[in-house]
Amino acid sequence: MRSIHSKPYSMIIDALIVARKAAPLTQVELAKIWGKKQPTITKIEQCERRIDMAEFLELCIILNTNPTDILREAHLEMKRSMLSR
């Protein structure tokens, strides 16, 4: 359960939140497009529910955002963190 609260994971979720708001979509609207319920979006955005890679890619498509850019930033943060140990 540790990785759900890691800085890189939080960065990914934060980037998805920014993309949702830029869309601009509410949690309710995103849930409807994605075929989920609004509480699922809330749990994801509050890091109470993990998303897998397929879900991440689906969200990037819906939100019209580049997954590579999001992952690049998370990767750099993880690398900095690991090298500073």
**43-79: per-residue pLDDT in tens?**
999 999 999 999 999 999 999 999 999 999 999 989 9
The domain limits of the chain are 2-83
Whether residue 33 contacts residue 62, with contact meaning beta carbons closer than 8 Å, is answered with: yes
Domain with residues 2-83, CATH architecture: Orthogonal Bundle (1.10)
Read off the pTM: 0.90
pLDDT at 3 exceeding the cut of 70: no
Retrieve residue 63's tokens.
């939100």
**10-32: per-residue pLDDT in tens?**
999 999 999 999 999 999 999 99
Separation between Cα atoms, residue 71 and residue 76, nearest integer Å: 9
